[in-house]
Structure 1
Amino acid sequence: MNDDALKKEIVALLRRNARIPEKELADRLNSSAEKIAALIRELEKDRVIMGYAAIINQEAENGEVRAIIEVGVQPERDTGFDTIAERLGKFPEVHSVYLVSGHYDLRLEVVGQSMQDVASFVSSKLASQPGVKSTATYFLLKKYKEAGVQISKDEHYERLKIVP
């Protein structure tokens, strides 16, 4: 397997479990641990791998409120959506920022200690930003799956019933 193919396989495996040991990656990919370690360092240096994160069961953690906020913005001359997206991403409450297609331009994931914290962020910080035309806030009530991982305790699998 060439280096590019190995890198794709490494990324796919790390996306599923970022704590998988290099030795196990090497065994799965029929390579050496040293080669895998070097390729991971290269992926990090090239900013293909930009960090590692844990998938947290929100119900077990408690105390955090998450919301999805759709933001309509006025693009800026020469930089389009980039400048305002980067500016909004600097707020500590903002966990993620995406440029999306559809009715709104940006999708933010915001974290607060309460619904009031998130509402306060929207009204006092977000809505007053230059270029922000409109917002729509959706509070996340329950997480079922994140990053390909089922969150529920009892992952129940039932085969589809075939009816003649």
Structure 2
Amino acid sequence: MKLTEKEIEIVELLEKNARLPIDTMAKMVSLSVSEVEHIIKKLEEAKVIVQYATIVDWRKVDGHEGVTAMIDVKVTPKRGVGFDEVAERIYRFPEVKSVYLMSGAYDLSVVIEGRSMSEIAHFVSEKLSTLDSVISTTTHFILKKYKHDGTVFEQGDQDRRIVVAP
């Protein structure tokens, strides 16, 4: 789908702040409120705008600090469907947040979230590794999240100047 310049501007504004009021957005792109509403509706129906999401810093919520892992998966592609069939089987698991086809040593990168490391270990050993096409996996646990989807999580008021000693 080819987008106009105004449509691209609207998508970029929504991508940065999905809560931006439509009247503010209309002023920013020099269109009427009804034109912006029409464009947004059209882009939602065409699935250009797929979802509006909230980024939550779960570390700040007592009792909700979970574990996130990135799993490199090496698979045997199937004739006629390549990696799509196994990727679909993987993304249907509720623990799975993202699945990407990758270049390099591994074929798929899978991001999952769980309540504990043992929950993720169970997922890898009992669900993921047992799939027919899966040859091997390598699991990387996220130790600290600095930035996610363009949002910086920690910005302390530390003095970032370089210390110069005489």
1:19 is aligned with what amino acid? R
Relative to structure 1, the CA distance from residue 123 to residue 47 in structure 2 (aligned partners, 3 Å threshold; closer, same or farther) is same
1:31 is aligned with what amino acid? L
Alignment of 1:74-85 (within 5 A): 74-85=76-87
Paired-residue identity, %: 42
2:127 corresponds to which of 103, 125, 128: 125
Cα deviation code 1:123-154 (max 9, x no counterpart): 00000011011101011111101111111143
What TM-score results when the alignment is normalised by the length of structure 2?
0.89
Q: Aligned pair count?
A: 159
Look up the match of 2:37.
Answer: 37
Structure 1 unaligned blocks of 5 or more: none
- Calculate the aligned-residue CA RMSD, in Å: 1.9
The runs of at least 4 consecutive aligned structure 1 residues that moved more than 4 Å come to 155-160
Structure 2 unaligned blocks of 5 or more: none
Look up the match of 1:17.
Answer: 17
Alignment partners' CA distance in 1, 2:149 and 2:157: 16
Alignment of 1:1-164 (within 5 A): 4-61=4-61, 62-154=64-156
Q: CA deviation at 1:159?
A: 7.8
Q: What SS does the corresponding residue of 2:4 show, helix, strand or coil?
A: helix
CA contact (8 A) 1:70 1:108 kept: yes
Cα deviation code 1:47-100 (max 9, x no counterpart): 111101111113213331110011111111111111111110000010111111
